[in-house]
Structure 1
Amino acid sequence: MKHVGFMGGSSLVELGDTSEMIDFLKFFSEKMERYGDSELSNRLYKKYIKLEQLGALALIVKELKVKLSSGEDKYLEYLSGIETCIESAELFYKSWGIYQPLKIAVTDVPYYIEDKNRPLEQYDTLGPNESPFWLR
């Protein structure tokens, strides 16, 4: 069973297996539609979050955490993982001038290393019918 989580800056937050991440992403996508911003959920699912999108995503995640219903509290760990990786990505960029983006990644070694070192260009060239790297 492959484990996945969020990666950003120098942080890696392992959260569960791929089916659990897909469950979270369905929840997240539905919530993002209410904000009128499906691009962020699409980018998180398939690619990575751009530096200029981190602030908007951080505000939305903070609001979602406050508004979780009792049946949605299982997603708190995922939202907190996003926050951790946003903070780490921003700090890494401020400290080193290098953007290590927020993205979903395989957390098992050695696959973690592949995801960490994968050039952003490979994410950018993913076609609409191609699976994200973390699902392969």
Structure 2
Amino acid sequence: MNIGFCGGGSICELGSISDVKLFFECVDFFVAKKDPEKNWALLLDRLYRRYLRFEDLDEAMVLMMEVKSKFLARPSSEVNWNMDLVGDRRRTWLDPTQSNLGEVFQTYFQHFAHCVESAKLFLKSWNIYQPVKITRTESAWFMVEESRPVEEYDLLEGEPFWARCAKG
């Protein structure tokens, strides 16, 4: 089960459910908890569990670039890598041998920026906002998620939709 960012007309794969969860756990542990005055809920709740509203895109982008900056200064050896997942290249797309977390999660930052720009361009071109969110990327699952009304995301409690019904 592959997970990715989507927004506008773009879908960008990130990896397994456990890969994406680990990214957000690292954001929480290494960045958000050390700087609690910032609106980290935008990434750790809105993006992780729901979707980003258009008016939140710029602030979320600034926060994501701050995460990238902090991750580039954080050695990847500070993460307790689950070798069962990392050793099996079919289950993870992450490479913990990279020197820092910024390099380990480089595609996350690139794909997020791409989906934010895609969402803005889609709105400008078609006057329709296709939210930036995390989703399953396999065609059948993606079609289910794309037809899900944003109101269901707004009411969501517990695990995000992309992390349900499968273990990654």
SS of aligned partner of 1:98 = coil
Residue 118 of structure 1: CA displacement? 1.2
| In structure 1, distance between residues paired with 2:40 and 2:149 | 24
The aligned amino acid for 2:155 is: T
- Determine which structure has the larger helix proportion and give its number: 1
Uncovered stretches (5+) of structure 2, i.e. residues with no partner: 74-98
Confirm or deny that 1:131 pairs with 2:159. Answer: yes
- Counterparts of residues 16-27 of structure 1 (less than 5 Å): 16-27=15-26
Among all aligned residue pairs of Structure 1 and Structure 2, give the percentage whose two residues are the same amino acid: 37
Residue 59 of structure 1: CA displacement? 2.0
User: Which position in structure 2 is the counterpart of 1:119?
Assistant: 149
Query: Alignment length, in residue pairs?
Result: 133
Q: TM-score, normalised by structure 1?
A: 0.89
| In structure 2, distance between residues paired with 1:32 and 1:101 | 23
Residue 64 of structure 1: CA displacement? 3.3
User: Which position in structure 1 is the counterpart of 2:65?
Assistant: 62
2:100 pairs, out of 71, 94, 106, with 71
| In structure 1, distance between residues paired with 2:8 and 2:28 | 23
1:104 pairs, out of 134, 138, 149, with 134
| In structure 2, distance between residues paired with 1:32 and 1:12 | 26
Q: Which runs of 4+ in 1 moved over 6 A?
A: none
Residue 18 of structure 1: CA displacement? 0.1
Uncovered stretches (5+) of structure 1, i.e. residues with no partner: none
Residue 28 of structure 1: CA displacement? 2.2
CA displacement 1:71-111 (0-9 Å, x = unmatched): 20211111111111100011111111111111000001200
Q: TM-score, normalised by structure 2?
A: 0.73
Residue 66 of structure 1: CA displacement? 4.0
User: Does structure 1 retain, via aligned residues, the 8 Å contact 2:6–2:12?
Assistant: yes
| In structure 1, distance between residues paired with 2:56 and 2:118 | 14
User: Which position in structure 2 is the counterpart of 1:38?
Assistant: 40
SS of aligned partner of 1:62 = helix
User: Does structure 1 retain, via aligned residues, the 8 Å contact 2:40–2:63?
Assistant: no
SS of aligned partner of 1:126 = coil
Larger Rg: 2
Give the CA RMSD over aligned residues.
1.5
Residue 55 of structure 1: CA displacement? 0.5
